[in-house]
């Protein structure tokens, strides 16, 4: 199962979908990836991001390419950054336009 090619899907949603497609529980994934169940729960519920190593482990488990998982996380991080810094980014745009 490969994560969707969209910046709209959160990495945890992609993992939840991938687990459902395999019929795996979070405990199953934790065992396969050699991670704690609490770590996997945080990944699925958005409390943790998908690191490059976790992306590689997901790929090794047959759950899609590491590049796709890393891109999904990158997009989520950028979207969160845009939302959190919207005012500052707009100020920068205005200053750059006037320079």
Other CB atoms within a 10 A radius of the CB of residue 76 amount to 21
Q: Which pTM was predicted?
A: 0.84
Domain ranges of the chain: 11-98
Tell me the per-residue pLDDT of 29-81, one tens digit each, with 9 for 90 and over.
Answer: 999 999 999 999 999 999 999 999 999 999 999 999 999 999 999 999 999 99
Tell me the per-residue pLDDT of 6-32, one tens digit each, with 9 for 90 and over.
Answer: 557 899 999 999 999 999 999 999 999
CATH of domain 11-98: 1.10.260.40
- Please state, in angstroms and as integers, the Cα–Cα distance from residue 1 to each residue in 61, 75, 92, following that order: 10, 19, 40
Write down the pLDDT at residue 62: 97
Write down the pLDDT at residue 90: 93
Contact between 68 and 17 (Cβ < 8 Å): no
- Please state, in angstroms and as integers, the Cα–Cα distance from residue 32 to each residue in 10, 14, 26, 94, following that order: 22, 17, 10, 50
């Amino acid at each position: 199962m490969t994560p969707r090619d969209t910046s709209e899907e959160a990495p945890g949603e992609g993992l939840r979908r991938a687990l459902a497609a395999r019929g795996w529980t979070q405990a199953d994934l934790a065992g396969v990836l050699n991670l704690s169940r609490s770590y996997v729960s945080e990944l699925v519920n958005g409390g943790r991001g998908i690191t490059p190593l976790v992306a590689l482990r997901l790929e090794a488990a047959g759950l899609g390419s590491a590049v796709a998982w890393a891109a999904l996380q990158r997009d989520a991080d950028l979207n969160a950054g845009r939302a959190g810094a919207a005012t500052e980014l707009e100020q920068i745009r205005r200053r750059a336009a006037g320079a």
